[in-house]
Structure 1
Amino acid sequence: MKRSNKSVLAVAGVALAMPGLAFAVLPPAVTEVGDAGGDVKPACPAPPCKAIPRTTGYQVKVGEDRAVHVVKADGRVVAWTIQLSKPGPKQTAFFNENLGGEAQAQLTILRPGNKLYARVVAQGESVKLTKYFGQKVTFTLKKSIPVKKGNIIGITVPTWAPALALEQPGTTSWRASRGKGQCNDFDSQSAQTQTNNITRFYCLYRTARLAYSATVVADPKPK
């Protein structure tokens, strides 16, 4: 298939929508894993308009931080946040036509293994994103997800999601669930939508950032 120069790249989230829900001041036991705000501004509608396409991904590095989406302590994920850009009508139609339909995403918990392999240990509900374009939105999970220290908070996008910030420093990078030789194959489906799936996150994309985060409540420490 001939690809337009408005092509893609990609990543995103999950849950029961509660737009505007914010955690500006977090109790000591509550932490944000990842970054869905601040200086993270996803592309679109300004060119090049790119999005997370048909994959599962997670941020590997931002500056000196090499564990951006790694859980720091055992706990439960109760919500996740995503910053969405606002593609124009023609851009939206292009993505819908070429990437399998309406923008959607879900939160995915990964247990990392050796040689860039990881297992999907849990997922949140899939959420349609179109009505939230141009917003930073938080979704509470219908059921909290237990996580262990060292798990990775990922995002699964079976179609596309306009939550990709471009023109970041060279020290910023993210990985996608694509194998060797498939890093530019955005037409093929690589989104991990089943628990217990094991896949290799071989493809590394530099100077781009996934604009999502998760709210984790740490387990109580034994007295």
Structure 2
Amino acid sequence: MRNRLFGPVAASIAALMILPALAGAKTIEMGDIPSTVKPTCPRVKKKCNAVTRTTVYPSSVGTNHSPMVVPRNGRLVAWTVKLGTPISTDRKWFDKNAGGVSQAKITILQRVKGGGARVVKQGESAKLQAYFGKTAQFALLKSIYVKKGQIIALTVPTWAPVLAYGFDNTMAWRASRAKGQCGVSDYLTPHEQLAVKSFSTYYCSYKTSRLTYSVTLIPAL
């Protein structure tokens, strides 16, 4: 069962404004996460796996090679994250070494001719720690108009336990890191795209794991 948890009071008010519109609208849940998929944190092999200081999007989920590519023009109204449950030791370590408390926001990317992607829009950031171990949905304070072909990414300026492991090579995702900066030693170096018009090659690709976020799209009529 999904827990529909909204952040601050402002976000709750936004949710109340959005819900009546959703009642009569057809929605698409892009990247919907099955109940069987669970973030790999707490620890597996003495590690708590988390996305750190980067912008990410899934490039392959089984036979779907464009799971976060907008299928038609419309408006994003909410985003959802399925979060792991890091133990206190891991939370303190990430808070200290990955730039602060766990948080994330939605980022809209436009592919660039020749490779890479540029930020065209972003949502507001949400702190995640209060929702560890749950599936939390955040209503956007203002819906975001998106165009067919754009990519809906997740920007993590600090860290977020939104990675599930244990899959084959048909599960893959990309991060806003450059060539030569894809290794473990680069994970704590800031590569996140925080500004509109910022560009990244998205060179780094990671397989056998899945990002656990999704977004709610209302297609244009």
TM bracket, shorter-chain basis: 0.7 to 0.9
Distance 2:124 2:139 in 1: 10
* Cα pair 1:60 1:66 within 8 Å, conserved: yes
Equivalents in 2 of 1:209, 1:200: separation in Å?
20
Tell me the CA shift for residue 44 of structure 1: 1.2
Q: Partner amino acid for 1:178?
A: R
Partner of residue 104, structure 2: 105
In 2, the alpha carbon distance for the partners of 1:46 and 1:110 equals 32
Q: Mean Cα displacement is larger for which, 139-148 or 107-116? A: 107-116
Q: Equivalent residues in 2 for 1:43-62 (5 A)?
A: 43-47=40-44, 48-62=47-61
| Distance in 2 between residues matched to 1:103 and 1:157, nearest whole Å | 8
How many angstroms apart in 1 are the aligned matches of 2:32 and 2:206? 17
Contact 2:81 2:135 in 1 (8 A): yes
Q: Indicate yes or no: 2:29 matched with 1:36.
A: no
Please report how far the alpha carbon of residue 29 of structure 1 lies from its aligned counterpart in structure 2 after TM superposition: 2.7
Aligned length: 203
Give the secondary-structure state (helix, strand or coil) at the position aligned to 1:105.
Answer: strand
Q: Is the 8 A contact 1:34 1:212 kept in 2?
A: yes
How far apart in 2 are the matches of 1:27 and 1:38? Answer: 26
**Share of identical aligned residues, percent?**
44
Query: What's 1:93 paired with?
Result: 92
**Matched position secondary structure for 1:196:** coil
1:11 corresponds to: none
CA positional deviation for 1:179: 0.3
**What CA deviation, in whole Å up to 9, does each residue of 1:11-30 have, x standing for no partner?**
xxx99655xx8x9x986731
Q: CA deviation at 1:36?
A: 3.3
Q: Which residue of 2 aligns with 1:119?
A: 118
Structure 1 ranges of 4+ moved more than 6 A = 25-28
Secondary structure in structure 2 of the residue aligned to 1:95: helix
Aligned counterpart, 1:209: 210
- What is the deviation of 1:40? 1.9
**Is the contact made by 1:37 and 1:211 (CA closer than 8 Å) also made in structure 2?**
no
Cα distance in 2 between the residues matched to 1:82 and 1:17: 15
Q: Aligned pair in 2 of structure 1 residues 173, 143: CA closer, same or farther (>3 Å)? A: same
**Gap regions ≥5 residues in structure 1:** 1-13
> Is the contact between residue 37 and residue 136 of structure 1 (CA under 8 Å) also seen in structure 2?
no
1:33 Cα deviation after fit: 1.0
CA distance in 2: counterparts of 1:17 and 1:82, whole angstroms: 15
RMSD between superposed Cα atoms in Å: 2.0
Aligned residues of 2:43 and 2:49 also touching (Cα < 8 A): no
Structure-2-length-normalised TM-score: 0.86
Q: Which amino acid aligns with 2:198?
A: N
SS in 1 for 2:166: coil
Cα displacement (A) at 1:115: 4.1
Aligned-partner Cα distance in 2 for 1:92–1:37: 26
